[in-house]
Amino acid sequence: MQLQQMDMNLFLVLEAIYNARNLTRAAEQLHITQPAVSNALARLRRSLDDPLFTRTPAGMSPTPLTESIMPKVQQALALLGTSLSEQRQFDPAGAQKTLRMSMNDMAETLLLPRLLERLQQLAPGISVESYYVPRDQLAKELAANTLDFGLDIPLATATQLQQQRLVNDRYLCMLRADHPLAEQTNLTLEQYLQLDHIHVSSRRSGPGLVDIALNKLGRRRNIKLRVQHYRVAPLVVLRTDLALTVPASLANQYPARLFELPFQIPQMDWHLLWHRNQHEDPANRWLRGQLMELFV
């Protein structure tokens, strides 16, 4: 089959199925019907003389041929998208757009007030939707353009994503301002371990960074409260004797006593993530610049 005999739209369908692993979701992403996607896949199978995908309980699984050609197909589609986007200009003041972002509640607390203030001044027609997308689904959502950006830890295996560090945040121990230990200059490891602690995790069980670091020292803290979100945890600290180990950027927002930790844990790296297909899009580029400036 010669390239000039191929319908280039079929490769858009191929990429959508590859990203979604599901014909119905691919159709939704492309804004066409599911039978149209099935028909396009059948044409591609005949043209390339390969099944391209096989049905499995987990969805449409790519064949070796599909896996081998997809990097070049995605590169070609991205190049075409870049060429088209370069012909467009983005006017923030007149733009009517919904900015869709994935982040947790702590990132929302730190980012959204400042972001909305800036958008109100520079781009009042842009609205924002924020919701959390699980880390293993983030690359697929960004590839499908159902999401514009993610705020998360670096994703080393997501080679199709562009990433930029926004902030490198150290952890502190937070106590209420009139806590019995508030007058201490420093907090010793023994004092830290004698406290009752709040652990923040979206999971129902399992250790966090603090517990992993303490386990390496052969020590363990007493967790009195486990909650899903960082936003509520400081409010509990302010009304109890409980301690919270929390990133400094959030801890500094409360009238509390803050201590450096008496042991080492990795700092929190927050990265802005977007799909490489959107790297040269004028709107995406402008919004990236605004988001990065907020963390300078």
For residues 158-180, average pLDDT: 90
Q: Which residue from 167, 181, 177, 190 is spatially nearest to 247, judged by alpha carbons?
A: 167
Q: Sketch the domain layout of the chain as residue ranges.
A: 3-85, 92-151+278-293, 171-266
Q: Which CATH class is domain 3-85?
A: mainly alpha
**Residue 180, CB half-sphere, CA atoms under 13 Å: how many?**
7
Per-residue pLDDT reduced to its tens digit, 128-143 = 999 999 888 888 888 8
2 or 79, greater pLDDT:
79
CATH H-level, domain 171-266: superfamily: Periplasmic binding protein-like II (3.40.190.10)
Identify the residue whose tokens are 């390496």.
216
Query: Which residues, at least 6 apart from 37, have a Cβ–Cβ distance to it below 8 Å?
Result: 13, 16, 17, 23, 26, 27, 30
For residues 181-187, average pLDDT: 94
Same fold, 3-85 and 92-151+278-293: no
Q: Is the pTM of this model over 0.75?
A: no
Identify the residue whose tokens are 């936003």.
231
Per-residue pLDDT reduced to its tens digit, 33-75 = 888 889 889 988 988 889 999 999 888 999 999 898 888 888 8
144 or 171, greater pLDDT:
171
**CB-count burial class (<10 Å; 0-12, 13-18, 19+) for 49:** exposed
Pairing label, strands 196-200, 222-227: parallel
Per-residue pLDDT reduced to its tens digit, 78-124 = 776 665 555 567 889 999 999 999 998 888 888 899 999 999 999 99
CATH topology (fold) of 92-151+278-293: D-Maltodextrin-Binding Protein; domain 2 (3.40.190)
pLDDT value at residue 83: 56
